[in-house]
Structure 1
Amino acid sequence: MKGQAARIHTRLRSVAGTAAAALMLAMATGFAAEKPVAPEHNPPGDIPDNQVFVTYRSSDGYELKAPEGWARRTTPHQVQFADKYDTIAVNIEDAATAPTLDVVKGQIVPKLQKEGRAVEIKGVSTVSRKSGTVIRILYNSNSEPNSVTSSQRRLENERFFYFHNGKLATLDLSAPLGADNADQWQLISDSFRWK
C-alpha cells in the first residue's frame, strides 16, 4: 500500500510539473496561441452601394470621406467611425520620414502579429491612391470579444500609411471577413488627403 501511494504521489508531481511547464511556455510566448475564429457564411458588414459619404476634416491637417450616420469617436490625434461590425480609424503621429516597405515588413508587421488577435498577413505592398503612393497591409484578425457574449468575429483589414511634413497617418479599415466593401474602401482610402 505504501509503494502504491508513493507511485501515485510521483505521478501527480510529474503531471503538475508538465502543467507548470506548459503554463511557463504560454507565458513566455505571450499567450500568442489565440486561434482564428471561423468566418461566417453571408457575414453582415457590407457597406450599401447607395451609402452617402461626407467629408471629415481633422484639426490634424487631413480630410477623408466617411459614411454619413456612422458613430464617430475622437480622441487627440485619433478618430474612429463605426457601424455595427465595420470600423474606419485614423491615427496621427509624428515621424521623421515615411516608412519604407522594408520597415513595414520588418518592424510594423511583426508588431501587428504580436499585439493583434490571431493576425494572418495576406500581403504588404505599395499602392497608388489619389494622394500618391502609399503602403498597404492586407490582413485577417479576430475581433475583440463582445462585452456581453464574449463572442468574436473574423475580420478582414486594410491598413494604409500616409506621410506628409513630419506626420504619419495610419488609416485602418475593417469588416467581417467576406463582406463586400472593396469599392467603398477604395473610395475611403482614395479620399484621404493632407490639407
Structure 2
Amino acid sequence: MAVHTRMSVAVGFALVAAVTAGCSGSGTHAAKGSASSGSSSTVAQNPAPTESNPPGDIPDNQAYVPFNGPGFTVKVPEGWARTQRDGGTTAFTDKLNTVRITPVSASGAPTVGSVTNTVVPQLRSQVQKFASPKVSEVKRHAGSMVLLTYQGDSAKDPVTGKVVRDAFERYAFYRSGHEVDLTLSGPVNADNVDPWRMISDSFAWR
C-alpha cells in the first residue's frame, strides 16, 4: 500500500512539471509575437521623410526653354510667369525667384569702372536697403562681361506683407553698340549657384 502511494505522488509531480513547462513555453511564444507586432507598428508610424527644396531653391529637375530677344537668345526656366516691364525689360518669375532681361543701347562696352560709378549709384537709389555691391569681370560662353553682385530687400508681398532679403547677380553683355543686362535674383539663403550659372552661360548673340 505504501509503495502504491509513493508511485502516485511521483506521477503527480511529473504531471505538474510537464504542465508548468508547457505553460512556460506558451508564454515565451506570446512575448515574441507581441514584440514583433510592436516593431511593425513603429515602422508604420515613422515613414521615411519626404524630400523638399528650401524656400527659394530652384529644383534640380527644372526645365529651361530659349527666350529670343532682339539679336540674342538666353534660356529661361520653363513655366515661370512672364511679364513685360517698362524700358523693354522682360521678367520671368516663380515664387521668390526672378530672371530679368533688359536690352539697351550703349556707346561702348561696360567696364568695372563704369558699372561702379554709374550703375551702383542708380541701384542704390532704386533698391530697398541696397548693400554689398561687388563688381568684377567674368567669363561666360558668350565671352567676357561685367558682373555686379549685391543684396537688397524685395517688394512687400501684397498678401502676407513679408519682405525677403534677396541676392542679385547682374550680367552686362555687350556687342557692337548693343548691351543686354541679365539680372538673376532670389533669397540670400537659397542655393541657386548651378541654375544661375546655367542661365548666364546660355546667353548667346544671334
TM range (shorter): 0.7 to 0.9
Q: Does 1:91 align with 2:102?
A: yes
Partner amino acid, structure 2, of 1:48? P
**Could you tell me how far apart the structure 2 residues matched to 1:68 and 1:97 are?**
33
CA distance in 2, matches of 1:148, 1:183: 30
User: What residue is the counterpart of 1:173 in the other structure?
Assistant: 184
2:90 to 79, 82, 90: 79
Over aligned residues, Cα RMSD in angstroms? 1.5
Which structure has the bigger radius of gyration? 2
Deviations 1:127-178 (A, max 9, x none): 0000000111111100011123332110011001001121111111000111
Q: Is the 8 A contact 1:43 1:176 kept in 2?
A: no
Change (3 A) 1:142 1:43: farther
TM-score normalized by the length of structure 2:
0.70
Structure 2: runs of 5 or more not aligned: 1-52
Equivalent runs, 1:28-177 vs 2, <5 Å: 44-58=55-69, 60-75=70-85, 77-177=88-188
- For residues 191 and 129 of structure 1, the distance between their equivalents in structure 2, rounded to whole angstroms, comes to 8
Structure 2 letter corresponding to 1:181: N
Name the amino acid aligned to 2:81. Answer: A
| Alpha-carbon offset, residue 43 of structure 1 | 5.2
One-letter amino acid of the counterpart of residue 78, structure 2: E
**Deviation for aligned residue 1:125:** 0.3
- The answer to which structure, 1 or 2, has the higher relative contact order (CA under 8 A, 6+ apart) is 1
Identical amino acids, percent of aligned pairs:
39
Q: Specify the SS of the correspondent of 1:110.
A: helix
Deviation of the 1:124 alpha carbon = 1.0
CA distance in 2, matches of 1:133, 1:91: 18
Structure 1 CA distance for aligned equivalents of residues 162 and 61 of structure 2 = 30
Could you say what secondary structure the match of 1:187 adopts? helix
Comparing both structures, which one devotes a greater share of its residues to helix?
Answer: 2
Q: Does structure 1 retain, via aligned residues, the 8 Å contact 2:120–2:133?
A: no
Instruction: Give the letter aligned to residue 142 of structure 2.
Output: S
